[in-house]
Amino acid sequence: MEATNPILILNNAIIVTMDSHDHVFVDGAIVIQHNSIIAIGKSIDILTQFTSISHQLIDLRGQILLPGLINTHVHTSQQLARGIADDVDLLTWLHDRIWPYESNMTEEDSFISTLLCGIELIHSGVTCFAEAGGQYVSGMASAVEVLGLRACLAESIMDYGEGLPASWAARTTEECIKSQKDLFMKHHNTADGRIKVWLGIRQIMNSTDRLLTETRDAAKELETGIHMHIAEIPYENQLIVETRGVDNGTVTYLEKIKFLQNNLLAAHTVWVNEKEMDVKMPFLHGDLEEIYKEQHEGFKVDCLAKAGVKVSHCPAAAMRMLGFAPIKEMLSAGVCVSLGTDGAPSNNRMSIVDEMYLASLINKGREVFSTGTTDPTALPAETILKMATINGAKSVLWDKEIGSLEVGKKADIVVINPSSWSMMPIHDCISSLVYCMRTENIVSVMCNGCWIMKDKKILTIDEGSSRSKEAHQQLWSSTRINDALDADPGYLYLHHKKMQAKWRIISSLVYCMRTENIVSVMCNGCWIMKDKKILTIDEEEVLSMAKHASAELLKRAGIQIPNRMNFV
């Protein structure tokens, strides 16, 4: 990890602060001392202020600075399971793939899986994440300390339910609560304060009332948060109505037992509903209207807002198995909504950059289904950026220190190079960050005042280590997942030296591959790109021409793009 000098100044940058006034400095500078921001403003003012003080100066040449992005729902221990459960139904996903995988993990597996996940998080600009719940918090904590990230870690707790692996089913409620308290005492506020320990509830279907209420009380006693999957699928609400004596489902029941608190981070919350409301939907008819009204109409979000519950919206995972979450309604009701990726078996891509893009488009498209009319203004770019930054910080109860670039806050910073074919030309900086930016535009990442990635090279660990591949093989050989995959024609065998690895090549090409994985391109027998370099034209020259031509074209057309934020 590369520590900064006593005073570091990053200048000549577009600084998107995400502060309460939405300040954007067009030619800005930010001053960092130790792990905190001590000044921010126009470059000329900052350089004048610090001209007589010894400092290191880095000219960013017009690159963009954002607060470190925050992933509020991720299963880091599931990273080694990427690709094992693509295109399968939910029960197969859970009982035949994920539970056997997780229940056979070792602490070393968890450590390696978190390292691998952390690499992807850093490359996508994440400086802080909320672990949704794994089996080995100690393994995850060790990885986080090495990576240099911030994290809210939680153990995956269940004390009830059919089909649980034997080792999980044997745990009592007392053991579950004690384990979480012990982990809190061991790891909370470690790694220079970068690690927080939360309490984790996997889901209500695997929780007794006692586990819920004692977890609620323990979190209050320890002054920490609770991370829980809530209202993921319609069956969950149905089961709670049938077994817990309420008429609406999970959110209603959690409100009844006073579990809804301002320290609760609710993941997904796709199927929050209130059957009593009667809103006419002329574009739906018959059974379809009744089903939609039963599950979605009149979203019960008011109690979430009043209780101060935070919601992690995971658009990619929701589209795979869960459905459309009422995010627009939640935001309108005052619920703090942030963004998460979920785990690798649910999403494949651990990139908040991708989730920002998806969140806006999916929620625009949902308007047609929910109201019968289009609304291209739903969840605009500035709202999405808030979800990925300051709302993320509020969701993990860390907004006094992170989530925006302000004096007194920690130096968690992402450096973005917009001068690429994927982002140029830029007419609207804010929309370009949401709709155009890709992980390859992120060049450097700072967390807690230290560079953890610089010029696209992670400084804290060796990305090329083979340990993740070895752990993957050992874990697979100890579970029954192998038997399930043997019967799946989508899996191909690759022979490399003495190791036989099973990879679902086809699904990986669809769900995991990105443009940065493409290294060479041949057309008509000639290489037009080799080792990521275009051979037929000068890319930099084209970018320069495009920037000039687009500016002139907009000028001739009389088009003016309004600023979305307060540009200084």
Separation of alpha carbons 489 and 130, rounded Å: 35
Q: Which pLDDT does position 88 carry in this prediction?
A: 87
User: Quick one: 170 exposed, middle or buried, by C-beta within 10 A (0-12, 13-18, 19+)?
Assistant: exposed
Residues 299-343 have pLDDT tens digits of 567 889 999 999 999 999 999 888 999 999 999 999 999 999 999
Q: Which DSSP state fits 272?
A: -
Q: Which pLDDT does position 566 carry in this prediction?
A: 87
Q: Which pLDDT does position 166 carry in this prediction?
A: 87
Q: Mark residue 278 as left, alpha or beta (left: phi above 0; alpha: psi -120 to 50; beta: remaining).
A: beta
Q: Which pLDDT does position 371 carry in this prediction?
A: 79
Rounded mean pLDDT for each run of 10 residues along the chain, 568 residues in total: 73 98 97 97 97 94 98 97 88 88 94 96 99 96 98 95 86 96 98 98 95 98 98 92 90 96 97 48 44 50 92 96 91 96 95 97 87 87 98 99 99 98 94 97 98 97 68 53 48 38 70 93 98 96 95 95 90
Q: Which pLDDT does position 483 carry in this prediction?
A: 52
Measuring CA to CA, which residue among 384, 524, 398, 565 is closest to residue 20?
565
Q: Which pLDDT does position 199 carry in this prediction?
A: 98
Structural contact between residues 148 and 128, judged by C-beta atoms closer than 8 angstroms: no
Structural contact between residues 266 and 309, judged by C-beta atoms closer than 8 angstroms: yes
3-state secondary structure of 526: strand
Kindly list the distances between the CA atom of residue 218 and the CA atoms of 223, 224, 251, 339, 412, in Å, as whole numbers in the listed order: 8, 9, 20, 26, 30
Strands 126-131 and 150-153: parallel
Q: Which pLDDT does position 471 carry in this prediction?
A: 54
User: Quick one: 462 exposed, middle or buried, by C-beta within 10 A (0-12, 13-18, 19+)?
Assistant: exposed
Separation of alpha carbons 197 and 171, rounded Å: 21
Under CATH, to which class is 231-379 assigned? alpha beta
Residue 499 pairs with which residues in a beta bridge? 496
Structural contact between residues 51 and 100, judged by C-beta atoms closer than 8 angstroms: no
Residues 103-155 have pLDDT tens digits of 999 999 999 999 999 999 999 999 999 999 999 999 999 999 999 999 999 99
Strand (E) or helix (H) holding 12: strand 8-16
Locate all alpha helices (DSSP H) within 223-285, ordered by sequence.
234-244, 250-256
